[in-house]
Amino acid sequence: DSGVTQTPKHLITATGQRVTLRCSPRSGDLSVYWYQQSLDQGLQFLIQYYNGEERAKGNILERFSAQQFPDLHSELNLSSLELGDSALYFCASSVGRRTEPYEQYFGPGTRLTVT
Amino acid sequence: GQSLEQPSEVTAVEGAIVQINCTYQTSGFYGLSWYQQHDGGAPTFLSYNALDGLEETGRFSSFLSRSDSYGYLLLQELQMKDSASYFCAVPMDSNYQLIWGAGTKLIIKP
């Protein structure tokens, strides 16, 4: 158990819909990262927050947005869903100091299926 | 740009030793990380090398050569539970996020 929690574990929804994925980082971690992993693919970095502020952006679609709240939990919002958005979405956290990106702790993931 | 290359698949026999290579191309360098991911599971952090040389943690070791922009993960006394995908990762120029290799699927045969 990494200490990072994600809900829900599974999500099945229809095209065009909007969903929210939730992540709680490890106690004490200030940085949260969101990743997308399609079937048998590598990890695609989406976005990173540090202590409530956006710190880095990867290949995140405009239909996707995220935020980190004062209690450090984070939410990833996916809207106007398409079939191609079906994937595993991981949240990871790290302490957040300069060298900490190397050591990230991942939650169990949310498996999103768009039908 | 920045990129990492690792073999897509490696096959080995239970009890043997296997090496998974990773070459990287970055404009700056701060360290090389390795992660393990079992099918359907989450990536788990294995090791991090900032300096040249070999770092050993139990059956797993990780090596880095900064002059060659190259590293590897060495797994000894392979067990069936080591069957997984292994990812190398290096930080972006900003040093705030990681760039990930495509992953190496390790297949272990009895």
Which residues in A lie closer than 8 A to residue B45 (C-beta atoms)? Answer: 103-105
- Residue A74: predicted pLDDT: 98
Contact A105 B45 (CB under 8 A): yes
pLDDT tens profile B35-94: 999 998 999 999 999 899 999 989 999 999 999 999 999 999 999 999 999 999 988 766
pLDDT along chain A (115 residues), means of 10: 94 97 95 90 89 89 96 97 96 76 91 97
Interface test with B, best of A2, A29, A36, A43 (most B CBs within 10 A): A43
**Average pLDDT of B18-28?**
90
Instruction: Choose among B31, B97, B101: nearest Cβ to A45.
Output: B97
Contact A42 B87 (CB under 8 A): yes
Which stretches does DSSP call E strand in chain A? 5-7, 10-13, 19-24, 31-37, 44-50, 53-57, 64-68, 74-78, 87-94, 105-106, 110-114
Instruction: Choose among B30, B31, B100: nearest Cβ to A43.
Output: B100
